[in-house]
């Protein structure tokens, strides 16, 4: 029997009882739509995480002084010898280092005219902008030379600009950071909130020397210290290898004896986010599993109706056999019916899934990601359900004895 | 005498049905030879085994023992797909209840066996029209069974049986659901087809219907009681 004929007779049989066919399809429709929405949700969450990683720097190593132990008492993170600008200079020369920055941070008050604003000061070197992949939307960042000379120039985050210079062009404006006058030379692009809920635009960035000498205040013992160093690993270097190379280098430089524990830490920030995303992935798998259960239940509905249909049409099957249909023809007929039923349900389900994902993305705070792969997989799942649950009823029809089927009342 | 002389030959055919713990002997060793072009009526009271024999000749059921040859081929050696093809190409069935598909029109009903044809049918549509023409129904080919009278429905069923160009037509009580006048028309149609060379086997319990056949076989209790040819 030709395929087109098989499809035509399947559609004919299914349209003979439209309501029943639709109700049977409903299970498949809901199953496919939920599979699709769950997969879109999972893909959306994954894309969000990848975006976070790339925002924080997929290739960034963060170096901080670590815990020390004195007399068996842990002194807590950052208690050991801090890193200095001299450390930065030598790390910069390691082969895998693309860029490096060192930072000191402090809470400060920014004042412009009558406006006061509490904000976060970051004192750093120009490498910071490369490591963080930060761009200015207005003006420029400070130069290496300005950084070294301790120029009183500032690059502002957008929140600070909004608070201090609402409505006026901030470039060239002077304002005070803890009573030290500085000039605005650049405004950063907006970055929004961090994944921890922090406003990443509420910052004032000054050259490291300026911040330390004139605002935070240089102390003989803290001179040239930075609270953390960030290293951007050059393309082509494996992050884990770079991490352990840097650890080895720092152990040697800080003269840590073999066997002794490190008094510093080298983190891969991206790893933290990935670890956090695993919880989300587990949740996603659970949801996808439940969507799969919905599809399975839909499939059982298809099998039930197909069995009813085979029973109802036993005489017709007998007649077809008497006219020369082989078992395989009967099998193909009922499998095609199940497939058309599930395929149609799958198409409607895919359309509904698109609509559902779109609505969820619009109204809720969900990030949805739909692609061809998800669509094909959802539709493929429906077709697979059709074949799987259609097989048993079709086989039952094909195995009927012609004369018993023909005489069936 | 070679095997091929008979289009149908039964040798010591038996069929035993098991109903619960009771065994029903529907056929008790039937020997039968039918020559090509014969028009045979099989008669007998219900339960005499005439329908059972029809089902066996139609390859719809298997005998308990004995052998059945169709055009010299022993059916016991044929696998199910080959039996399906035999039903499709060599045999044509006409049933008492017509057995038309209710949602398909006359033309589609006649085309139904051609869907399963493995041999070449150049134009199924043309062949189906031709068959409807033979039963004088070509102007009703777009009618559904419910829109046709009983006699017309049976003629559609005969057209369907003819579609695959069969050499044998098996008609099981073809007039059982029809009135006397219509029955006569159907029988005349079968006589015409027989005249064109098709071997016809007819099961009936009506003597007037059986009178159209040239050979009458009476069954009783699973055996042939009498087998007579009427004058040509």
A363-382 per-position pLDDT tens digit:
876 778 888 888 898 899 99
Structure tokens at A297: 């239940």
Task: Note the pLDDT tens digit of each residue in A35-69.
Answer: 888 888 888 888 877 777 777 677 888 888 876 55
On the question of pLDDT at B122 being above 80, the answer is: no
Q: How far is CA A208 from CA A37, A147, A285, in A?
A: 49, 6, 46
On the question of pLDDT at B53 being above 80, the answer is: yes
Residue range A349-376: mean pLDDT, rounded: 85
Cβ–Cβ < 8 Å for B201, B34:
yes
Cβ–Cβ < 8 Å for A112, A173:
yes
On the question of pLDDT at A217 being above 50, the answer is: yes
Q: Does A4 touch chain B (CB under 8 A)?
A: no
Structure tokens at A376: 């094909």
SS3 A141: coil
Task: Find the helix or strand (DSSP H, E) in which B11 lies.
Answer: strand B8-19
Task: Note the pLDDT tens digit of each residue in B146-176.
Answer: 999 999 999 999 999 999 899 999 999 999 8
In angstroms, the CA A151 to CA A142 distance is: 9
Residue A281 burial class via C-beta count within 10 angstroms: exposed 0-12, middle 13-18, buried 19 and up? middle
Q: Does A347 touch chain B (CB under 8 A)?
A: no
B103–A321: do the CB atoms touch at under 8 Å? no
In angstroms, the CA A281 to CA A275 distance is: 10
**Confidence class of residue A75 from pLDDT cuts 50, 70 and 90?**
low
Minimal Cβ distance to B88: which of A16, A316, A323: A323
Q: How far is CA A188 from CA A35, A123, A156, A222, A307, in A?
A: 41, 15, 6, 29, 67
> Which chain B residues contact residue A16 at CB under 8 A?
103
Per-chain mean pLDDT for chain A:
85
Task: Note the pLDDT tens digit of each residue in A117-150.
Answer: 999 999 999 888 888 888 888 889 998 888 888 8
> Which chain B residues contact residue A400 at CB under 8 A?
none
Residue range A92-115: mean pLDDT, rounded: 88
On the question of pLDDT at A194 being above 90, the answer is: no
Higher pLDDT among residues A167 and A164, named by residue: A164
Least confident of A229-233, B62-66, B143-147: A229-233
Give B8's strand partners: B34, B70
DSSP symbol at B5: G
In angstroms, the CA A234 to CA A241 distance is: 12
Residue B200 burial class via C-beta count within 10 angstroms: exposed 0-12, middle 13-18, buried 19 and up? buried
Kindly provide the ipTM of the predicted complex, given to two decimals.
0.93
Per-residue model confidence (pLDDT) at position A218 = 64
> Which chain A residues contact residue B55 at CB under 8 A?
403
A403–B89: do the CB atoms touch at under 8 Å? no
DSSP symbol at B150: H
Task: Find the helix or strand (DSSP H, E) in which A11 lies.
Answer: helix A3-15
CATH (residue range B37-50+82-229): 3.40.50.300
Best mutation site among B116, B156, B166 for testing chain A: the one with the most A CBs within 10 Å? B116
Cβ–Cβ < 8 Å for A118, A159:
no
A327–chain B nearest CA distance, Å: 7
Per-residue model confidence (pLDDT) at position A197 = 67
> Which chain B residues contact residue A403 at CB under 8 A?
55, 60-61
Structure tokens at B100: 């038309």
Give A374's strand partners: none
> Which chain A residues contact residue B173 at CB under 8 A?
none
Across A184-193, A234-243, A256-265, A315-324, which has the greatest mean pLDDT? A315-324
A326–chain B nearest CA distance, Å: 5
Minimal Cβ distance to A16: which of B80, B103, B112: B103
In angstroms, the CA A393 to CA A388 distance is: 10
Task: Note the pLDDT tens digit of each residue in B85-97.
Answer: 999 999 999 999 9
Q: Does A319 touch chain B (CB under 8 A)?
A: yes
A405: nearest CA partner in chain B: B60
B84–A327: do the CB atoms touch at under 8 Å? yes
Nearest Cα to A24, choosing from A212, A367, A304, A262? A304
Task: Note the pLDDT tens digit of each residue in B67-121.
Answer: 999 999 999 999 999 999 999 999 999 999 999 998 889 999 999 999 888 876 6
Per-residue model confidence (pLDDT) at position B1 = 45
Per-residue model confidence (pLDDT) at position A72 = 57
B135–chain A nearest CA distance, Å: 19
Per-residue model confidence (pLDDT) at position A345 = 93
> Which chain B residues contact residue A326 at CB under 8 A?
80-81, 84-85, 116
Residue range A4-17: mean pLDDT, rounded: 82
> Which chain A residues contact residue B60 at CB under 8 A?
321-322, 402-403, 406
Q: Does A329 touch chain B (CB under 8 A)?
A: yes
Structure tokens at B77: 């050696």
Per-residue model confidence (pLDDT) at position A400 = 93
């Amino acid at each position: 029997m030709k395929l087109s004929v098989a499809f035509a007779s399947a559609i004919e049989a299914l349209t003979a009882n439209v309501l029943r066919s639709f109700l049977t399809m409903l299970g498949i429709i809901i199953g496919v739509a939920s599979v699709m929405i769950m997969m879109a949700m999972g893909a959306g969450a994954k894309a969000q995480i990848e975006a976070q990683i790339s925002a924080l720097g997929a290739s960034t190593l963060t170096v901080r002084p670590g815990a020390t132990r004195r007399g068996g008492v842990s002194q807590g993170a950052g208690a050991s010898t801090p890193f200095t600008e001299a450390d930065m200079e030598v790390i910069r020369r390691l082969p895998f280092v693309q860029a490096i920055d060192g930072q000191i941070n402090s809470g400060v008050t920014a004042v412009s005219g009558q406006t006061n604003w509490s904000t976060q000061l970051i004192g750093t070197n120009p490498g910071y902008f490369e490591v963080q992949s930060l761009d200015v939307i207005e003006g420029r960042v400070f130069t290496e030379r300005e950084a070294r000379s301790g120029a009183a120039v500032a690059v502002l985050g957008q929140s600070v600009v909004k608070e201090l210079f609402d409505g006026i062009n901030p470039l060239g404006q002077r304002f005070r950071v803890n009573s030290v006058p500085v000039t605005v030379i650049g405004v950063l692009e907006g970055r929004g909130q961090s994944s921890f809920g922090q406003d990443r635009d509420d910052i004032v960035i000054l050259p490291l020397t300026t911040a330390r000498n004139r605002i935070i205040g240089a102390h003989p013992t803290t001179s040239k210290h930075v609270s953390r160093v960030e290293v951007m690993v050059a393309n082509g270097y494996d992050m884990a290898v770079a991490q352990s190379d840097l650890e080895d280098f720092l152990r040697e430089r800080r003269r840590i004896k073999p066997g002794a524990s490190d008094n510093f830490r080298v983190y891969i920030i991206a790893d933290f986010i990935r670890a956090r995303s695993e919880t989300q992935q587990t949740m996603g798998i659970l949801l996808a599993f439940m969507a799969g259960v919905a599809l399975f239940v839909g499939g059982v509905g298809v099998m039930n109706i197909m069995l009813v249909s085979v029973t109802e049409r036993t005489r017709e099957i007998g007649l077809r056999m008497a006219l020369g249909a082989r078992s395989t023809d009967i099998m193909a007929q009922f499998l095609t019916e199940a497939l058309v039923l599930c395929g149609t349900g799958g198409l409607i389900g895919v359309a509904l899934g698109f609509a559902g994902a779109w609505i969820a993305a619009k109204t809720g705070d969900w990030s949805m990601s739909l692609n061809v792969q998800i669509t094909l997989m959802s539709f493929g799942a429906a077709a697979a359900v059709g074949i799987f649950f259609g097989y048993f009823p079709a086989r039952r029809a094909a195995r009927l004895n012609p004369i018993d089927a023909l005489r069936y009342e | 005498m070679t095997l091929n002389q008979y289009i149908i030959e039964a040798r010591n055919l038996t069929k035993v049905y098991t109903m619960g713990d009771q065994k029903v002997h529907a056929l008790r060793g039937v020997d039968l030879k039918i020559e090509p072009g014969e028009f045979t009526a099989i008669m007998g009271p219900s339960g005499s085994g005439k329908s059972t024999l029809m089902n066996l000749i139609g390859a719809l059921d298997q005998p308990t023992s004995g052998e059945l040859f169709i055009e010299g081929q022993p059916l016991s050696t044929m696998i199910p797909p080959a039996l399906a093809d035999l039903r499709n190409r060599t045999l044509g069935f006409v049933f008492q209840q017509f057995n038309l598909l209710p949602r398909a029109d006359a033309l589609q009903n006649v085309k139904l066996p051609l869907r399963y044809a493995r041999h070449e049918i150049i134009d199924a549509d043309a062949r189906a029209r031709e068959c409807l023409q033979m039963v004088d129904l070509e102007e009703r080919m777009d009618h559904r069974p419910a829109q046709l009278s009983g006699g017309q429905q049976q003629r559609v069923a005969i057209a369907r049986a003819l579609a695959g160009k069969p050499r044998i037509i098996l008609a099981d009580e073809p007039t059982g659901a029809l009135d006397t006048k219509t029955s006569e028309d159907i029988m005349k149609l079968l006589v015409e087809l027989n005249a064109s060379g098709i071997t016809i086997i007819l099961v009936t319990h009506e003597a007037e219907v059986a009178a159209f056949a040239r050979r009458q076989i009476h069954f009783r209790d699973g055996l042939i009681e009498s087998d007579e040819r009427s004058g040509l």
